[in-house]
Amino acid sequence: MATPRIRRFPAAVLVLVGALATAHIGATLAFTGPATPVKESLQPGLNRYFLGPLDQGWSLFAPGPYSQDEYMLVRACVSDRDVCAGGTDAGAEFTPWRQVTAEEQEAVKYNVFADRETRISKVIHGRFWSAAAKLNDEQRDMAEGNHIDGDPVFGVDLNSSKASEKYSPAQLSTLRSYQRLEDTAVGLGTLYMRQQYGDSVTLVEVRMMRESVPAFDKRHEKNPTRSQSWTNIGWRPATEFDEQVSAAWS
Amino acid sequence: MVLSADSAPVRTWLRRQRHLPARLARRVTTWFIEDRHGDYGFAVMRIASGIFLLGWLLINLPIASRIWGPGSAYMQPYREILGYRFPFDILQHAGPGLFWLWYAITTALVVAFLLGWRTRIVTPLLFIAYTTLNGQNTPISDGGNYFIRIMLVYLILVDVSRRWSLDARRRAAKRSAETQTGSVLHNIGLCLVVAQICTVYLEAGLYKVQGDLWQNGTAVYYPLQSVAYGVFPGLADLLTYFALPVFIATYVTVLAQIAFPFLLFNTITRRAVLIALLGMHLSIGVLMGLPFFSGIMASADAVLVSGATWIAIVSWLKGTLLGNRITDSLAARFRKRSSRATAKGGDDEVEEAEPDTAPAEPGVRA
């Protein structure tokens, strides 16, 4: 049987789309692979290419499996902000700590088809923790401090020219990443607390806690130790959301 | 230039091989135009991933507003820099009306995709709709969501509805011819899908090798014993009680992932590695409560199973599920009832019965 001959247009398509596909897979390999001089030379183009719809955010439990449970805890001040600033001595009313992640994950047990609400705070924890880990000691102290009047956490608006003067581009990038995730965590914390305490929530405080799974060789112990580590966000003003956001959480 | 006697065989060999590049090019182009490869595998991938996507959307329906809709505004500081530009950012400030309309359209597109209805149009639209929804809250996604989003880009090129679909029935009825360009795009899409699967497994395996817990053979114990992924704590305790099964599961996972691309070249090793990975996905899906992640990953692996195998599996399933006493008696009752109705209704209302075998589907016409 004679082999079919390729026509001109399909041949052109084969060459053009084939070249693009090869380039794309090559870029994928370079982007997702280990740090190499080739990868370095292709940056920042690679990062830009794989932003958004082409994001390759899979990790498949590599290089380390999930071995520490990630928790988010929130509490709020439900008095006027000025009163809150004075603390309990000034008559401020504080809510107990709410274990947001533990509440979410109650639905996971014996439920293979749990919805993703069981992961909301856990996934924010994961991203926040990585960003916070990049802060130096001084920056971490600033982040753990209280900033209840909306003053910048790191003393300067991170999008201003002053910030560019104060910090190197790499430092500024780290701080901005942290700030975005802190705002996200505070926003989620606000919604959870408003869900429970309504509009009286004026300030929120968020804590992230990691609790290790008992080591493999300790698995037969009756009460194996689970070590904990914490990263805290100091008191922050409750995030303001519009009505339709509140309605979704009511 | 003087060639020694020793170089004569080399010259002869080179002369004989002078048409090799042309032959190779012809073989490659023929492969790209003669058929749309992996069509049954794509049908299984389309149906399976469609079912999982539909399940994902329906299970998360009650809380969709909080994780992707207007209630997900807390994600705005994070998501606004992720590079989702128009049309993928359309939901970022949308109200409930637009959000729920988008959600309904996405669900409808998933159903159309699953059934294989107008997939040349539906697949790109589904990519846009699903990616936009997903972009609202990327951290809430699991690996399967990332994977299917990338796959949908490639599936735009692929004739995913060539088999077992509404499109296939329509095409068979119309006897519409397949174009060379369509076949070329389909086969490039297949190459991309296979390359992506290989990349994911190989690199995940290579990264795992670098992790201490994977090296010491205890890695699978940890997620199973965590609160977040330990769906069945008692079962996890049982499975991780002895070190040997944990060690075997850990090492098989790593070895299967690293070896995956290389084991595809041989039929027997390919089947072995696909079965190993299917087992891994099933375990993750059930024991760790990640059915959508596992299901979507496994559905992509379907492309690597040959058409003959899929036909054999479907025939076996038909025989097992339909060829038993219960279904036979149900079918006989149904036939009896419908023949009575036909006798009452007259000849005008009789529609042509479905043939037992599917109509011949169009082949590639050069």
pLDDT in tens, chain B (366 residues): 555 656 688 889 888 888 899 999 999 999 999 999 999 999 999 999 999 999 999 999 999 999 999 999 999 999 999 999 999 999 999 999 999 999 999 999 999 999 999 999 999 999 999 999 999 999 999 889 989 999 999 999 999 999 999 999 999 999 888 999 999 999 999 999 999 999 999 999 999 999 999 999 999 999 999 999 999 999 999 999 999 999 999 999 999 999 999 999 999 999 999 999 999 999 999 999 999 999 999 999 999 999 999 999 999 988 888 777 777 787 778 777 767 765 654 443 333 333 333 333 333 332
C-alpha triplet B2, B5, B10: angle, nearest 5°: 90
Q: What is the pLDDT of residues A206-249, one digit of tens each?
A: 999 999 999 999 999 988 888 999 999 999 999 999 999 999 99
Count the neighbouring beta carbons within 10 Å of the beta carbon of residue B38.
26
In-domain check, residue A145: yes
Nearest to B71 among A123, A213, A245 (CB): A245
Is residue A63 in some structural domain?
A: no
Co-location of A32 and A74 in the same domain: no
Q: How is residue A110 written in tokens?
A: 């014996």
Euclidean distance between CA atoms B88 and B128, whole angstroms: 7
Task: Mark whether A131 and A185 lie in a shared domain.
Answer: yes
A218 touches chain B (CB under 8 A): no
Residue ranges per structural domain of chain B? 36-178, 200-305
B213 with A65: Cβ contact below 8 A: yes
Same domain, A43 and A95: no
Are residues A124 and A153 located together in one domain of the fold? yes
| Tokens (6 digits) for A16 | 């053009």
Contact predicate A124/A181, CB 8 Å: yes
What number is the ipTM of this complex?
0.93
Per-residue pLDDT at A225: 85
**Domain identity same for A98 and A135:** yes
Contact A10 B184 (CB under 8 A): yes
Q: Which of B287, B293, B281, B297 is nearest to B142 (CA)?
A: B293
Q: Which pLDDT value is given to residue B336?
A: 78
Residues A88 and A156 in one domain: yes
Measuring CA to CA, how many Å separate A61 from each of B143, B172, B200, B205, B214? 10, 45, 12, 10, 10
Contact, B94 vs B70, CB < 8 A?
yes
> A45 and chain B: CB distance < 8 Å anywhere?
no
Residue A123 within any structural domain of the chain: yes
A235/A181 same-domain check: yes
Task: Give the pLDDT confidence score for residue A132 in this predicted structure.
Answer: 97
Strand partners, B210: none
- Domain that residue A194 falls in: 68-249
- pLDDT for A5: 87
Q: Is residue A95 part of a domain?
A: yes
Phi, psi of A186 (to 5 degrees): -65, -40
pLDDT in tens, A66-119: 999 999 999 999 999 999 999 999 999 999 999 999 999 999 999 999 999 999
Residue B328: predicted pLDDT: 77
Asked if the C-beta of A203 comes within 8 angstroms of chain B's C-beta atoms, the answer is no
pTM for the whole structure: 0.89
Q: Does one domain contain both A144 and A215?
A: yes
pLDDT of residue A8: 94
Nearest Cα neighbor of A213 from B167, B188, B220 is B220
Residue B138 to residue A249, Cβ atoms within 8 A: no
Confidence band for A150, pLDDT divided at 50, 70 and 90? confident
Count of structural domains within chain A: 2
Q: How far is Cα B31 from Cα A123, in angstroms, rounded to an integer? A: 45
pLDDT at B5: 55
CA distance A91 to chain B (A): 30
Q: Say yes or no: A74 and A40 in one domain.
A: no
Name the closest residue on chain B to residue A50, using Cα atoms.
B83
In angstroms, the CA B335 to CA A128 distance is 63
The secondary structure of residue A208, as a DSSP letter, is: E
Same domain, A92 and A143: yes
B204/A126 CB distance under 8 A: no
Decide if A13 touches B, using CB distance below 8 A. Answer: yes
Q: Are residues A88 and A166 in the same domain?
A: yes
Residue numbers in A near B33 (CB within 8 A): 4, 6, 10
pLDDT at A137 over 70: yes
Residue A191 contacts B, CB cutoff 8 Å: yes
Residue A220 in domain: yes
A69: contact with B, CB 8 A cutoff? yes
Residue A158 in this model has a pLDDT that exceeds 90: yes
Express as a percent the part of chain A with pLDDT over 70: 97
The dihedral formed by the CA atoms of A67, A68, A69 and A75, expressed in degrees to the nearest 10: -170
In this structure, the answer to whether residues A73 and A182 fall within a common structural domain is yes
Name residues whose C-beta falls within 8 Å of residue B300's C-beta, 6 or more positions apart in sequence.
B45, B49, B147, B151, B193, B197
Q: Is the pLDDT of residue A13 over 60?
A: yes
Indicate whether A218 belongs to any domain.
yes
Name, in order, each residue with C-beta under 8 angstroms of B22's C-beta and a sequence gap of 6 or more.
none
Task: Please state, in angstroms and rounded to a whole number, the distance separating the CA atoms of residues B43 and B45.
Answer: 5
The pLDDT value recorded for residue B350 is 33
Name the average pLDDT for chain A: 93
For A9, the closest chain B residue by CA position comes to B181
Looking at residue B360, its pLDDT comes to 37
d(CA B313, CA B316): 5
A225 lies in some domain? yes
Residue of chain B nearest A104, judged by CA positions = B228
